[in-house]
Structures are given as C-alpha cells and as structure tokens.
C-alpha cells in the first residue's frame, strides 16, 4: 500500500510539474506584452526596461520559469493587476464560496445519483428502469446555466423561497447563508447526478453478473440481502473512483453557475479576470484548480484502494 501510495504521489508530482510548464507558458503566449498590460501604452522605453528588469523578464526563459516556480512554492502567485493585491489572497477570497458550493453539489449528487441508480439496477429491464435511465440521459443533456436561470425564476422570483444571487459568508451571517447556495448547487448537481446514476446502475449490473453473487443466492439469503451485502458494496467501489472525475467536471461547470448566480467564487473570478485581462489571476486560478483536481484524484484513488482488501498484501 505504501509503495503504491508513493508511486501514485510521484506520478501526480510529475503531472503537476508538466502542467506547471503549460501554465507558465500561458502568460508568455497571451497576445500582447505583459509589460504593456501592466503599464499601459504611455510608458517610456526606460520605464519599460526598468520594469522588465524588475520582473526578471530580461533573463533566460528557463531561469524565469525556475524563479516563478520558486515563488509559487513559497505561496507567491504574483499580483493581480485589477485588484492590486496578491493573487493568492484574491483566490482565497473566492475559495470559501467555491468549496462550499462544490461540497453541497457533491452531497446532492450522492443523495440523488446513488439511490436512484440502485433502484434502476434492481428493477433492471422494467419500464421504471428505462424511464429512470432515460431521465438521467436527459438531465445530462441540459445546460446547467439554463436550469439555473429557471430555478431563479421559479424558486426565487415567483415563490421567493431562496435568494436569487450572491452569497454572504457563513462566517458573517451564520449557517443560514447556506440557503444562497441551494439553487446553484442543485443546478450544478443535475448533470453530475445523472452521470453518477448511470454509473451506479451500470456497475451494479456488472457486479450482479459475478459468480460470487450466484454463490450468495445459492445460500438462500433474500434478494435484498444479496443486493445490500454483495452487490452494492462492490459496485460502489467503482462509483467512488468516479467521484474524482465528477469533482473535476464540477470545478469547470462552476465557472458558469457562479456567473449565473453572481456567486463570489473562483469560477466567476476566472470569467471576470478574462474580461479584465487580469492574466496573473487567470494563471493563478488555473494552477490552483489543477492542483486541487490532481490532489482529489490522488486521494480518491488511494481511498479506493483502502476500501478494497485485495490490495492489502501488495
């Protein structure tokens, strides 16, 4: 287990390193010299040279990369041009919203996707199964922002049950502020719950064809006991590994959802920074999201192995 964990962590580190090169290169291939972006077109050549030197842009590219990565490891992601503040603190401001949104979404995804997927699998081949599978496919085909807009219309504008936009921190207004995240998380959960539903169903059907399920039936235990004790646990093992992918999809779709609901998260930060051409922030957010994504996948992968006793001895 430990040697596997180390190996897996090593691969993650290598991937991260390669990704960091791409992210570093990003700022160098964006149109226009970042110097002009910083100083505007009215700068004198002297000012330009001075800033170029100050930022280390006159150094060889390799050295620039090493300096950059060194700063990143120290937690210094550069300064936001728009906010005139460290990128890391700008990102940290949005982290609470995004983390809570993602968590709440994952809770919906699990609560909706797994049980309904189970029902579809148990009723395999019936009208109920076909209806649920079809509904899941339909849900996966709906744009999240569209669902979001109609959720706002119905539950915020017409019924007034939930606020339509924004999110004041729970640290200031208490846990009741979570109600601001109910509609966005539901919109974000819809397509992902659909994917988890289909995956749960498919892996339960796969497992139910295994020989050991036949052995369990042969013992004379009841069908629901066969499902709970033999099919479900083994099938969920496969579902767990999909949670990492779901989380990744979620990080990206949150970009749109946060925009629709005007949530102060890092997703909306990306979109606004793109429109403002605030390149250091874009770069920083991409880096942070990639790190989070890779770490979550690492954790999911390792916990998957912990749940499966077969790897104990290896």
Partner 1 sequence: MLSVRDLTVSLGPETAPVDIVAGVSFELGKGEILGLVGESGCGKSMTSLAVMGLLPQPGPRIRAGRVLLEGCDVTQLQPWQRVVAGHGRMAMIFQEPMTSLNPVRRIGDQIAEAVRVHDRLSGPPAIDRARELLEQVRMPDPAMQLSAYPHQLSGGQRQRVMIAIALACRPQVLIADEPTTALDVTIQVQVLGLLRELCNRLDMAMLFITHDMGVIAQLADRVSVMYAGRIVETAGVEALFGRPRHHYTRGLMDCMPSRNSGARRLPTIAGQPPAPGTVGAGCVFASRCAAVRETCRTAAPPRAEVSQGHDVLCAFPLDGGEPR
Partner 2 sequence: MSRDGAILWLKPFIARPIALLGLGILLGTILAATFAPWLAPYDPYAIDPSIRLTPPNALHWFGTDQFGRDTLSRVIHSARMALLIGSGVVMFALATGVPIGVLSALFPRLGHLLMRMVDVLMAFPSLLLALGLIVVLGPSVANAILAIGLGYMTTTTRIVYGLTLRLRMETYVEASRSMGAGTAWLIGKHILPNLVSPLLVQASFVFAFAQLGAASLDFLGLGAPPEIPSWGNMLAESRTFITRAPWLLFFPGMMIVATAFSLNLVGDALRDRLDPRFRQLFSEKG
Among 245, 276, 301, 307, binds partner 2 (CB under 8 A): 245
Least Å distance between CB 65 and partner 1?
A: 46
Torsional class of 43: left (φ above 0), alpha (ψ -120 to 50), beta (otherwise): beta
Nearer to partner 2, 20 or 64 (CB): 20
Contacted entry of partner 1, partner 2, none for residue 259, CB cut-off 5 to 8 Å set by kind: partner 2
Q: Which stretch binds partner 2 (CB under 8 A): 50-58, 79-87, 283-291, 301-309?
A: 283-291
* Cβ neighbour number for residue 57 with a 10 Å cutoff: 16
Handedness of CA 53, 57, 58, 64 (dihedral sign): positive
Contact indicator for 196, 109 with CB cutoff of 8 Å: yes
DSSP 71-130: HHHTT---B-TTT-SBHHHHHHHHHHHHHHHHHHHHHHHHHHHHHHHHHHHHTTTSHHHH
Q: Does 223 sit near partner 2 (CB under 8 A)?
A: no
Least Å distance between CB 225 and partner 1?
A: 8
Q: Does 95 sit near partner 2 (CB under 8 A)?
A: no
Nearer to partner 1, 141 or 219 (CB): 219
Contact indicator for 284, 207 with CB cutoff of 8 Å: no
Torsional class of 160: left (φ above 0), alpha (ψ -120 to 50), beta (otherwise): left
Residues that bind partner 2 (rule: CB under 8 A) add up to a total of: 52
Distance CA 79, CA 302 (A): 35
Least Å distance between CB 97 and partner 1?
A: 38
Distance CA 311, CA 2 (A): 11
Distances (CA, A) of 263 to 87, 212, 258: 19, 49, 5
Binding track over 110-149 against partner 2, x by CB under 8 A: --------------------x---x--xx-xxxx-xx--x
Distance CA 293, CA 247 (A): 7
Contacted entry of partner 1, partner 2, none for residue 286, CB cut-off 5 to 8 Å set by kind: partner 2
Alpha helices by DSSP H, the chain: 2-29, 34-39, 45-54, 61-73, 87-122, 127-140, 144-151, 170-173, 179-208, 211-218, 223-226, 233-260, 266-276, 279-307
Least Å distance between CB 241 and partner 1?
A: 14
Nearer to partner 2, 140 or 170 (CB): 140
Q: Does 15 sit near partner 2 (CB under 8 A)?
A: yes
Contact residues toward partner 1 (CB under 8 A) are 125, 209-212, 214-223, 229-230, 233-234, 237, 307-310, 312-313
Nearer to partner 2, 134 or 174 (CB): 134
**DSSP tag of 58:** T
Least Å distance between CB 5 and partner 2?
A: 18
Nearer to partner 1, 114 or 187 (CB): 114
Nearer to partner 2, 130 or 215 (CB): 130
Q: Which residues bind partner 2 (CB under 8 A)?
A: 14-16, 18-19, 22, 26, 29-31, 130, 134, 137-138, 140-143, 145-146, 149-150, 152-153, 157, 195, 198-199, 201-203, 242, 245, 248-249, 251-253, 255-256, 259, 270-271, 274-275, 279, 282, 286, 289-290, 293-294
């Amino acid at each position: 287990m430990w040697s596997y964990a180390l190996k897996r962590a090593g691969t993650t580190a290598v991937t991260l390193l390669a990704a960091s090169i791409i992210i570093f290169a990003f700022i160098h291939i964006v149109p226009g010299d970042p110097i002009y972006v910083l100083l505007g077109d009215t700068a004198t050549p002297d000012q330009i040279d001075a800033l170029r030197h100050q930022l280390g842009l006159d150094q060889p590219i390799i050295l620039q990369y090493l300096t950059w990565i060194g700063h990143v490891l120290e937690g210094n992601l550069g300064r936001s041009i728009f906010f005139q503040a460290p990128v890391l603190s700008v990102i940290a401001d949005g982290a609470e919203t995004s983390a809570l949104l993602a968590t709440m979404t994952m809770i919906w995804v699990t609560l909706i996707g797994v049980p309904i997927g189970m029902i579809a699998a148990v009723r395999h081949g019936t009208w109920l199964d076909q209806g649920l599978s079809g509904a899941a496919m339909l849900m996966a085909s709906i744009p999240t922002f569209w669902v979001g807009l109609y959720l706002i219309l119905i539950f915020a504008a017409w019924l007034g049950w939930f606020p339509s936009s924004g999110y004041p921190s729970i640290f200031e207004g208490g846990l009741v502020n979570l109600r601001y995240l109910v509609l966005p998380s539901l919109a974000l959960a819809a397509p992902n719950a659909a994917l988890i539903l289909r995956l749960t169903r498919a892996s339960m059907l796969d497992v139910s064809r295994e020989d050991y399920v036949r052995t369990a039936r042969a013992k004379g235990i009841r069908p629901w006991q066969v499902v709970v004790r033999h099919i479900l646990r083994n099938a969920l093992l496969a579902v767990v590994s999909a949670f990492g992918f779901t989380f990744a999809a979620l990080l990206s779709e949150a970009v749109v959802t946060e925009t629709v609901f005007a949530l102060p998260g890092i997703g909306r930060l990306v979109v606004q920074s793109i429109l403002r051409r605030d390149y250091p922030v874009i770069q920083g957010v991409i880096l942070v999201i990639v790190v989070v994504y890779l770490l979550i996948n690492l954790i999911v992968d390792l916990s998957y192995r912990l749940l499966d006793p077969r790897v104990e001895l290896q």
